[in-house]
A and B are shown apart, each in its own frame.
Chain A
Amino acid sequence: MTRVATATEVVDLAACSLRELNQRLHDVAGDHPEPRHWRVVNPNGTHAVACGLDAPVEVEIAGHVGYYCAGMNQRATVRVHGNAGTGVAENMMSGVVVVDGNASQSAGATGRGGLLVVHGDAGARCGISMKGVDIVVRGSIGHLSAFMAQRGTLVVCGDAGEALGDSIYETHIYVRGEVAGLGADCVEKQLRDHHVAELRALLDSAGVRDVEPSSFRRYGSARQLYNFRIDNAGAY
């Protein structure tokens, strides 16, 4: 089988409407999308860029984006060469979303699968209600991150804000720096060998090579809040 080098499709958001861009990206659905490589220029903080993709396309966005970029992503790889506003990769199902700069609040919220990488910092509520997505943040995250997190992995190379993992169900949380405070039912747990292996694989996938996996601390659910306990019957 020969590989054919394909040209990159360039879309200028100063000249093309957002709806047209997203429609064109939806129109290339299937296992062999053509064109496969896309480059979006002049995003200028526009909301909902590259949302709802469902094909193994690669989309590069040259600049800062607004809210909900790459939301509901399936199979696509979306890279933002800049900062992302509220809710980047919200409810992503699969694929990869990379933010080179910082992400605002609710990055990766409710995500069910795939990998979200933020090379800068992520704001408040990172990974809120995450349900299976893996999130790697090279910098720090804000308060109330992983609130009600249910599945998946949150890796933070910097610090975490107040109330980390509040009301958590089941999610692996790894933080390398300081944690300002743990939320209800979130506790520190022992970092075992298989956790280090999980971290190494995630950091590798995220392209973070300068951070030692064994230097993280692990946090997770104490399982006291969401399991029915007869002793707490009066409080339910």
Chain B
Amino acid sequence: MCGIVGLYCKSPELEPLLGERLSAMLVQMDDRGPDSAGVAVYRDPAPDGFTKLTLYSAAPSFDWLSLGVEVTSTRARHAVVLVEGDPDEAEARIRQRHPDLRVMSAGHAIEIYKEVGRPSAFAETFDLADFRGTHGLGHTRMATESRVTTEGSHPFSAGDDLCLVHNGSLSNHNRLRTHLRRKGMEFQTDNDTEVAAAYLTWRLREGASLEQALEGCLDDLDGFYTFLVGTADGFAVLRDPIACKPAVLAETDDWVAMASEYRAIAVLPGAADAQIWEPEPSVVYAWEKALV
């Protein structure tokens, strides 16, 4: 099953409330994905010349200050740090020195937090309601294709400030993973969504626009999917041509929201008067600062 939520603040007055709203949406999708939960939040861009990384330590007692970089915040086993250099350099440096740490996200504004367990417990442990930000997305997982682990939870990083959450299952992920490994992509799990995220990363590196990379999914991915992709400036939605995995979009003057079900949108003030529709199959929907 799995549940997806996303919220984009059109009105800056909403930004201090992003976490509170996103948390309320995520908890509504608790029973669609009781195995694990995760969010990506976009906020507080790193200064020029620096990359913001979200790191995860399987060991609960890791001393983040021992990294020798600026630690801007810690939550549960996650820490947000600022590292000099572009995202690729920053990520490579941390991986080389600390192979035991996982890099959850790399970019300028993105932060990714995810953990196994019920989404309602996740919202509390990570104090989701406390997050300010311009936009965020979340996922509740009911595992089908691979084990229930922190690494197998969504969102998956898909490159600089990009991430992917997925409801569905892909059937050609093994073959595609082999293909992408030959292109130099690295994988941390045997999860199908990680392959879709790596596919997007690879296409973008090859020069495709986000829209082109998403449209490529229609040809190159076999299986069921509703995707929500977080970008530095907004988010994008794509459903496979059969479209059996649900999605609802809603928009008011103040926000754009996406969710697996309307009940996750119903918790937002203004939902009753929002424009509400179901995204068409095989059509890319995108919101960015420049467009709204």
Please give the residue numbers on chain A whose beta carbons come within 8 Å of chain B beta carbons, in ascending order. Answer: 44-47, 63-64, 66-67, 83, 85-86, 102, 104-105, 123-124, 142-143
Contacts and interface: CB of A to CB of B under 8 A. Distances in A.
Nearest to A67: B261
A83 B278 CA distance: 11
Query: Could you say which of A45, A85, A123, A142 has the most chain B C-beta atoms within 10 Å of its C-beta?
Result: A45
Query: Main secondary structure on chain A at its contact with chain B?
Result: loop
Contacts of B264: 45
A143 B281 contact: yes
A84 B263 CA distance: 11
B277 A66 contact: no
Interface residues of B, number: 16
Given A64-B266, A83-B262, A85-B246, 18 more contacts: A44-B266, A44-B267, A45-B264, A45-B266, A63-B272, A64-B276, A66-B261, A66-B263, A67-B261, A83-B276, A86-B246, A102-B277, A104-B246, A105-B243, A123-B278, A124-B242, A124-B244, A124-B281
Contacts of A66: 261-263
Contacts of B243: 105, 123-124, 142-143
9 contacts: A45-B264, A46-B263, A83-B262, A86-B246, A104-B278, A105-B243, A124-B242, A124-B244, A143-B281
Contacts of A123: 243, 278
B40 interface: no
Interface in B227-247: 242-244, 246
Given A104-B246, A105-B243, A124-B243, A44 B263 contact: yes
A123 B276 CA distance: 13
A37 to B, nearest CB: 23
Chain A CB within 10 Å, residue with most, of B242, B263, B264, B267: B263
